[in-house]
Amino acid sequence: MPVRTLDMLGVRYDRLWLPVLPTKNLLFFPWLFGLIGNGFMARAVHTFYVVPAQQRDLLARGSPTAGTVTSKRTRRGKVTKYVFEYSYQTPEGPKEGEAEVRSKDRWDAITKGSKVLVFYDPQHLRRSVTHAYGPYHVVGLEPR
């Protein structure tokens, strides 16, 4: 009885494959698990590396402007998230953004109509971060 083996990336798949089954059917599950694993890895890299790097870059190189808190709310789930929305002015017109506050005490201090310092990307006007309530602070820049 003929036995076929397959070498992929230094791993040998040498279980008995029946000649009536094509190789592509036997590779479906390793391919599927690889696809799902890559999806989880891409999401983790985006969440834990790309987004924080973009926020730090906005604080370092973004254009500062005045913003106003337009609303605030909580998102309840396994963990309660404290979120507020703000609007800010750009040369092309008003834009809106959303920020998450890490502590309830800071969230309670925010009121609708409060002024916030917003840094935005002039090339991508929807990308913005607030200074006083964001996860990072610019050294030497005190909130007003």
- Do 110 and 93 fall into the same domain? yes
- Whole-angstrom distance, CA of residue 82 vs CA of residue 99: 9
Our separate counts of H helices and E strands in the chain read: 4, 7
Count other C-beta atoms under 10 Å from residue 86's C-beta.
23
C-beta separation of 79 from 54 below 8 A: no
- Do 73 and 103 fall into the same domain? yes
Q: Please write the tens of the pLDDT for every residue from 53-92.
A: 988 999 889 999 999 999 999 988 888 889 999 999 999 9
135 in any annotated domain: no
- Do 26 and 79 fall into the same domain? no
Q: Please write the tens of the pLDDT for every residue from 26-59.
A: 677 778 888 999 999 999 999 999 988 988 999 8
- Do 83 and 47 fall into the same domain? no
Task: Give this prediction's pTM.
Answer: 0.69
Q: Please write the tens of the pLDDT for every residue from 106-124.
A: 888 899 999 999 999 999 8
- In percent, the amount of the chain with pLDDT more than 70 equals 78
- Do 80 and 101 fall into the same domain? yes
Domain holding 93, by residue range, is 63-130
- Do 26 and 52 fall into the same domain? yes
- Do 71 and 118 fall into the same domain? yes
**The residue type at 18:** L
Q: Report the half-sphere exposure of 19 (CA within 13 A, side-chain side).
A: 3
First to last CA, the chain: 81
- Do 35 and 24 fall into the same domain? yes
- Do 56 and 71 fall into the same domain? no
C-beta separation of 72 from 84 below 8 A: yes
106 in any annotated domain: yes
CATH number at residue 86: 2.40.50
- Do 68 and 56 fall into the same domain? no
- 34 φ, ψ to 5°? -65, -40
How many domains, in total, are found in the chain? 2
User: Three-state SS across 51-80?
Assistant: HHHHHHHHHHHCEEEEEEEEEEEEECCCCC
